[in-house]
Amino acid sequence: MDTRSLLRQHNIHPRKGLGQHFLVNEDVLADIAGAAHLCPNDVVVEVGPGVGSLTVVMARQAGHILAVEIDRDLVAKLQQVLAAYDNVRVIQQDILELHLEEELAKLGGAAAAGYKVVANLPYYITTPTLRYFFAQRQRPSLIVVTVQDEVAGRMVAAPPDMNFLAVLVQFYGQAEIVRRVPAGAFYPPPKVDSAVVRITLKPTLPLDDAQTRQFFRLVSAGFSQPRKQIHNPLAQNYGATRADMIAALRSSGIDEKRRAETLTVEDWLRVYHSLMR
């Protein structure tokens, strides 16, 4: 049964306050599932399953699906739609408050080899949700996320158009836009087009947890005054003296007159290590 029919059958109406736009294009649903490269043993954490259309597609391909939905009213109807799939468990919870490690442990050894994330995210929770998964002790191997097209562009940006979200995503993994999704593929159609982004996470990171927090404090300070020469916002908002900051930039091979938007993740790492000496 297609998504529009499910909406009518279960009398489901999108809630504007939750930013709900249900994906109704079957080709796009298939492409999202395909982007996750699902295998029979895969564990998938789906954020924002909506009426379960994508969940059904993935349940036929993966081993286990944890479908996390914040809308309490929608969960009851979602459970009806997914009743025939014993490899799907619906969890009524705000993803940012979910104890993911506990939920994965309930699957026994199924999640030992890792898990993947598939999410359809409203603009306002895109960055918090990505940071939530990046901060997990057991990070996913892959994230496939449908976001506003402009947000997708920011995630895959390169110099001279870098931004905090780009540094965040590219520190943890490699991001690519899989496909664009026109507004008409959703009900109700949003005001802007969307895109599907696949993030392949790095198996190891260059910094430990404490260092990573400090690193992103540095990056955040750097982007606090867009379009300004980088030594100014760093000196004002990171806590180092202007002289120390300029010295760290120069020792990293970076002209202090450059803007934060021109720095790669590797550039930021060199600045961080220079400051830590």
What integer pLDDT is reported at residue 14 of this predicted model?
58
Measured CA to CA, the distance from residue 37 to residue 138 in angstroms comes to 19
Mean pLDDT of the chain: 93
Q: What average pLDDT does range 234-261 have in this prediction?
A: 94
pLDDT tens digits, residue range 23-50? 889 999 999 999 999 999 999 999 999 8
Could you tell me if 226 and 61 are in contact, meaning their C-beta atoms sit under 8 angstroms apart? no
Reply yes or no on whether the pLDDT at 15 is more than 80.
no
Reply yes or no on whether the pLDDT at 255 is more than 70.
yes
Domains of the chain: 3-201 (3.40.50.150), 209-276 (1.10.8.100)
CA atoms within 13 Å, Cβ hemisphere of 140: 25
Please name which of 92, 272, 89, 251 lies closest in space to residue 171, comparing C-alpha atoms. 272
Measured CA to CA, the distance from residue 251 to residue 249 in angstroms comes to 6
Please name which of 156, 164, 200, 193 lies closest in space to residue 35, comparing C-alpha atoms. 200
Reply yes or no on whether the pLDDT at 111 is more than 90.
no
Reply yes or no on whether the pLDDT at 4 is more than 80.
no
pTM of the predicted model over 0.85: yes
**Looking at per-residue confidence, does 189 or 197 come out higher?**
197
Measured CA to CA, the distance from residue 83 to residue 243 in angstroms comes to 64
- SS3 (DSSP) at 153: helix
What integer pLDDT is reported at residue 13 of this predicted model?
63
What integer pLDDT is reported at residue 51 of this predicted model?
87
